[in-house]
Amino acid sequence: MDILALNCGSSSVKYQLYDWEKKEVIAKGMVERVTIGDSFIIHEVPGKETYREEYECPDHQVAIHLIIKTLSSVEHGVVSDMSQISAVGHRVVHGGEKFTRSVRIDEAVLDAIKEVQHLAPLHNPPNIAGIEAAQSVLPDVPHVAIFDTAFHQTMPEYAYTYAVPFEWYEKHGVRRYGFHGTSHLYVSKRAAAMLGKPSNECNIITMHIGNGVSHAAIKNGVSVDTSMGLTPLEGAVMGTRCGDLDPAIPMFIQQQENLSPKEIDSILNKKSGVLGITGQFTDRRDVIEGVEQGGCPRCQLALDVEAYRLKKYIGSYAAATGGIDAVVFTAGVGEMAWLVREKTLEGLEFMGILLDKEKNRNTMTRKKESVITTPDSPVKVFVIPTDEELVFTEDVVAILEGTYTDHMNFKYSFATPEFQRK
Please identify every residue annotated as catalytic: 148
Query: What is 147-202 written as a DSSP string?
Result: ETTGGGGG--HHHH--SS-HHHHHHH--S-----HHHHHHHHHHHHHHHTS-GGG-
Query: What distance in Å separates the CA atoms of residue 222 and residue 201, rounded to the nearest whole number?
Result: 10
Backbone phi, psi, residue 209, to 5°: -125, 105
- State CA 36 to chain mean position distance: 24
CA–CA separation, 177 and 169 (whole Å): 12
Closest CA to 188 of 420, 407, 409: 407
DSSP codes, 289-305: HHHHHT--HHHHHHHHH
Taken in order 150, 178, 157, 222, the sign of the CA dihedral is: positive
What is the secondary structure of 221-270 as a DSSP string? TEEEEES--SSTTSSS--SS---S--THHHHHHHHHHT--HHHHHHHHHH
Say how far apart CA 220 and CA 237 lie, in whole Å.
27
Burial level of 181, CB count in 10 A (0-12/13-18/19+)?
buried
**Residue 83 one-letter amino acid:** S
Between CA 71 and CA 84 the distance in angstroms is 11
Report d(CA 305, CA 396) in Å as an integer.
Answer: 40
For residue 147, give Cα distances in angstroms to 151, 185, 279: 8, 12, 34
**CA 35 to the chain's CA centroid:** 23
